[in-house]
Structure formats: structure tokens, C-alpha cells
């Protein structure tokens, strides 16, 4: 006889979801904290965005604009995109979940690359669909492996480009090759959270493919280069029919007024964004070179972080390094959740933070 049910039971599959665990924000020692665990910008937010956020405090009693019109128009002005083909959300995470909610269900498969963003399997499982993982080559998305993994049950493919946590990317030609091999009913999601940092001639964030296709969408975020992670602002550019679907299922007030105002001001402040790009262009290669000079393997990154691989030696592995860095006040991101137990992801920080992490790891490996 089955035991009586004494409390609500979630539907099958929910308890199979591994909760997303953010990067640590505290260290165990050190005179000063250097938080390099969450790919946040060391430059903070635009002064114009901060001013807009403060000004919005005067109307906290009012509901926000449910269509985030000010923000969509600001994005459109900055990018040349039609605001009516943009939906804004509570970070790009919400938009990834909305895509899964709209186009996946029990019996369907959601496909992503081996080291893809951890939110993908969460969003897929949350709607009762099955996550499918395609292997990578040399920590890069393998388009052939993704194509080979497509089945009649595949409904959505999530592609982070550049990818987090590896920092690697695939060319626009490769993205187009993937798209050309997909059935028309499969949604290709181009997650371009780090697009603003990329300086490669063969890269394209996805705007061109969305504009010319019926089954491609692109997600972006204000959490990285714009320094507004605390406000949770994301946006999606998609065909009209997808926009219609997302507007039917999203919350009617899924963004706050202060977030809308700050986001619109941030994307309009081109000078501040340029400064963030310039800082990363200087320190991304410096940080990678500094880590390689002390014997670590560093994956080639086009984002605002690097993935460092540690030697497989007693006392010198990534968890040992993490504990050592914490004792020096340096917080980085461990990668066990991605199946990379001997790697650490390190955000490009301030000049002082970057120099500190290199010096600390020099001591650790000595």
C-alpha cells in the first residue's frame, strides 16, 4: 500500500533540477575584498544611470510601464533595432525561461552545448522537457555535435556566444551553418550576454540572423558591461510572432520603473560604455598573460573573464587555489557545477584586483 500524501508534491522533474548557485561574494581573510566571481564590471554603473535610478524614487507608489517603452526605445536608438521587436525582462534569465515556457513541454528536448550556461537545463527541466547536451571540442561549441544531437523532439537550442564560463566563441559563419541545418520549427536562442566585449571581425551577436529568420532570437543583458546587475535588466530581439507570444505569457509588470529608467540612461551613455570596453581590452590579455606566466593554462576568452585550468597535483588543484585566494581576500568562481572541477573562472577586475590575483596565485603555485 502506498503511503498517504501528506503535503503538496511537485510535478515530476522539478526535484531533478540542480539549483543555480551564484558566485561567492565574501572571503575568509585579506585586508580588502576583491570580488572576481560574478563577471561584474569593475567600473560600476554609469553616473547617468545612477542619477536616473535616484530620480525614479520619486514615483515608487506608481506601477511601472508594463511595456518598458522608454527602455525599448533607448535600446532601439542605440542599436538601430525596431522597439516593437524587443521585449525586456528581469535579466536575460527571465527571457530564457519564457522561451522555454513558450516552446518546450513534456516530450520535447532542449539542446545546449557541454559547457553552456547553467540556466539552460534549469529552464528546460522547469517546463517538463528533457535537456540534451552536445559535447564540445577544446572547450568550444562544436556545431557538428549540435547538429548531430537534433532529433524530431528538439524544439529549442540554446547557444551562448561568447560562452560562459569558457569565454570562447564561434564565428558568425558557424552560427549560420548551425541555423541552416535546423528544421524551421526549432527555435535557435543566441545568448549574447557578453557581445559588447567581443572585438573579433568574424563575430556577430545575432542581430543579422534574427532580422532575416523566423526561428532565431537573441538575448542580451545589462548586468555585464553596463554595470546594472543589481537591477536585473535583460532584453530579447526576436521575430514579431515570437514577441507576440512572449508578451502573452510574461508578467504584466516584469520590470521595475527604476530599472527601466536606469537601463535607458545606461545604454545612452556611450562614453561610459566605451571606457568599460577599453578597460577590458587592456586587462583581459594582461590577466591571461600573467596567469600563463606562472604556469596556468588559460582558455582564450573574448568576454570579461578567463577560465584558468590548474595542474593535477596534490595541493595545487583548483579547490586548493580557491581556498588560498579566499584567505587573501580574493573571491573567484569554482566550476564543479559545469564539470570543470580543476578550473577557476576569474573576472577581469580593477588593475589592483587583477594584480592581486596574479600575485596570490604566484605564491600559491610556488
Provide the residue ranges of all domains of the chain, joining segments of one domain with +.
14-45+271-365, 47-268
Least confident of 7-16, 172-181, 239-248, 255-264: 7-16
The CATH class for the domain spanning 14-45+271-365 reads alpha beta
Confidence of residue 161 (pLDDT cuts 50, 70, 90): very high
What per-residue confidence (pLDDT) applies to 355? 98
The CA–CA distances, whole Å, from 279 to 183, 333, 359, 365 equal 41, 21, 20, 27
Average pLDDT over residues 104-112: 98
Confidence of residue 15 (pLDDT cuts 50, 70, 90): confident
Averaged pLDDT of the chain: 95
What per-residue confidence (pLDDT) applies to 26? 66
Cell numbers describing residue 95 = 527571457
Least confident of 16-25, 62-71, 252-261, 315-324: 16-25
CA quadruple 140, 330, 304, 191: dihedral sign: positive
Confidence of residue 95 (pLDDT cuts 50, 70, 90): very high
Phi, psi for 284 (deg, rounded to 5): -60, -50
What per-residue confidence (pLDDT) applies to 16? 82
Average pLDDT over residues 109-114: 98
Average pLDDT over residues 41-59: 97
What per-residue confidence (pLDDT) applies to 6? 80
Q: Which residue's C-alpha cell is 565574501?
A: 26
pLDDT at 196 exceeding the cut of 90: yes
What per-residue confidence (pLDDT) applies to 28? 60
What per-residue confidence (pLDDT) applies to 18? 77
The pairing of strands 109-113 and 86-89 is unpaired
The CATH class for the domain spanning 47-268 reads alpha beta
pLDDT at 30 exceeding the cut of 60: no
Q: Which residue's C-alpha cell is 534549469?
A: 122
CA distance 193 to 224: 7
Q: Which residue's C-alpha cell is 508578467?
A: 251
CA distance 304 to 256: 27
202 or 16, higher pLDDT: 202
Q: Which residue's C-alpha cell is 564561434?
A: 170
Average pLDDT over residues 311-330: 96
DSSP E strands, the chain: 34-35, 86-89, 109-113, 130-134, 154-160, 187-191, 216-221, 234-237, 297-298, 305-309, 330-331, 333-334, 343-347
pLDDT at 134 exceeding the cut of 70: yes
What per-residue confidence (pLDDT) applies to 79? 97
What per-residue confidence (pLDDT) applies to 13? 81
Share of the chain above pLDDT 90, in %: 91
Amino acid at each position: 500500500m502506498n503511503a498517504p500524501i501528506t503535503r503538496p508534491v511537485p510535478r515530476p522533474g522539478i526535484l531533478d533540477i540542480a539549483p543555480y548557485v551564484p558566485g561567492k561574494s565574501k572571503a575568509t581573510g585579506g585586508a580588502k575584498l576583491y570580488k572576481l566571481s560574478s563577471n561584474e564590471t569593475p567600473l560600476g554603473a554609469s553616473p547617468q544611470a545612477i542619477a536616473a535610478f535616484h530620480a525614479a524614487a520619486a514615483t515608487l507608489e506608481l506601477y511601472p510601464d508594463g511595456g518598458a517603452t522608454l527602455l525599448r526605445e533607448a535600446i532601439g536608438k542605440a542599436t538601430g533595432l525596431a522597439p516593437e521587436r524587443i521585449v525586456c525582462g528581469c535579466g536575460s534569465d527571465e527571457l530564457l525561461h519564457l522561451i522555454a515556457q513558450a516552446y518546450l513541454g513534456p516530450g520535447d528536448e532542449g539542446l545546449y552545448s557541454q559547457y553552456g550556461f547553467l540556466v539552460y537545463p534549469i529552464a528546460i527541466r522547469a517546463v517538463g522537457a528533457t535537456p540534451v547536451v552536445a559535447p564540445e571540442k577544446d572547450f568550444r561549441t562544436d556545431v557538428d555535435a549540435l547538429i548531430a544531437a537534433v532529433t524530431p523532439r528538439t524544439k529549442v537550442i540554446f547557444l551562448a556566444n561568447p560562452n560562459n564560463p569558457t569565454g570562447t566563441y564561434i564565428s558568425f559563419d558557424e552560427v549560420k551553418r548551425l541555423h541552416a541545418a535546423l528544421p524551421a520549427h526549432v527555435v535557435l536562442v543566441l545568448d549574447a550576454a557578453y557581445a559588447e566585449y567581443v572585438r573579433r571581425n568574424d563575430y556577430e551577436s545575432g542581430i543579422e540572423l534574427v532580422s532575416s529568420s523566423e526561428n532565431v532570437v537573441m538575448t542580451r543583458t545589462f548586468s555585464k558591461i553596463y554595470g546594472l546587475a543589481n537591477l536585473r535588466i535583460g532584453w530579447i530581439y526576436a521575430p514579431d510572432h515570437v514577441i507576440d507570444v512572449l508578451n502573452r505569457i510574461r508578467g504584466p509588470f516584469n520590470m521595475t520603473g527604476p530599472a527601466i529608467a536606469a537601463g535607458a540612461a545606461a545604454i545612452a551613455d556611450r562614453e561610459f560604455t566605451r571606457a568599460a570596453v577599453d578597460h577590458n581590452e587592456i586587462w583581459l590579455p594582461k590577466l591571461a598573460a600573467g596567469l600563463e606566466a606562472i604556469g596556468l593554462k588559460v582558455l582564450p576568452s573574448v568576454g570579461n573573464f578567463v577560465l584558468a585550468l590548474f595542474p593535477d597535483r596534490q595541493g595545487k588543484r583548483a579547490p586548493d587555489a580557491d581556498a588560498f585566494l579566499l584567505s587573501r581576500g580574493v573571491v573567484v568562481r569554482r566550476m564543479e557545477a559545469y564539470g570543470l572541477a580543476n578550473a577557476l573562472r576569474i573576472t577581469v577586475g580593477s588593475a589592483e584586483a587583477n594584480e592581486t590575483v596574479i600575485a596570490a596565485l604566484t605564491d600559491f603555485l610556488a
